[in-house]
Copies of this chain bind each other. A is one copy, B any other.
Amino acid sequence: MQAVFHWPLRVYYEDTDTGGVVFYANYLKFFERARTEWLRAAGVEQQSLAVSDKVMFVVKSTAIDYHLPGLLDDQISVSVVVKKLGRASVEFDQQAWRIGGVEPQLLCSGSIRVGCVDTQSLRPVGIPAHVLARLGQSHVLAQ
């Protein structure tokens, strides 16, 4: 079984819309913050990666379901699970939960596939070996 990485965040005015709820597109930002911190926890900084390895990760596809509306001031916990680690791409399952109440409530869930690309040509390239090693280890360690 794989351990689950969690990243906490808060809902601010910037995240909401006039419907009184979190603007749906912003869950993609919440999900990315969690993936970024998961990467950082594995020792990978994306700014450094762009400079040293001339690669970056770009989102290739997303499939998102919205279950319950998030509200201003909500405490959110975003999970990161690696579904599939390929040579040039990674598939994630992610969820955003409202926490801090009587029991957690699932607000949003989805799958995100990211690809590794050259920072100049924007064409697909293999994930650098040192990154793959760290992600693989993190995967193994997490099992």
Chain A residues at the B interface, C-beta cutoff of 8 Å: 10, 12-14, 16-21, 23-26, 28-29, 32-33, 36-37, 40, 45-48, 50, 56, 58-66, 69, 71-73, 119, 122
Given contacts A12-B32, A25-B25, 16 further A-B contacts (CB under 8 A): A12-B29, A12-B36, A13-B17, A13-B32, A13-B46, A14-B25, A16-B17, A18-B71, A20-B119, A24-B59, A45-B73, A47-B73, A48-B73, A59-B66, A60-B66, A69-B122
- Between-chain CB contacts (< 8 Å), 27 pairs: A10-B33, A10-B37, A12-B29, A13-B19, A13-B46, A14-B17, A14-B29, A18-B71, A19-B58, A19-B119, A21-B122, A24-B28, A24-B58, A25-B25, A25-B28, A25-B29, A25-B32, A28-B28, A40-B73, A45-B73, A46-B73, A48-B73, A60-B66, A61-B65, A61-B66, A62-B63, A62-B64
CB pair B13 A18 closer than 8 Å: yes
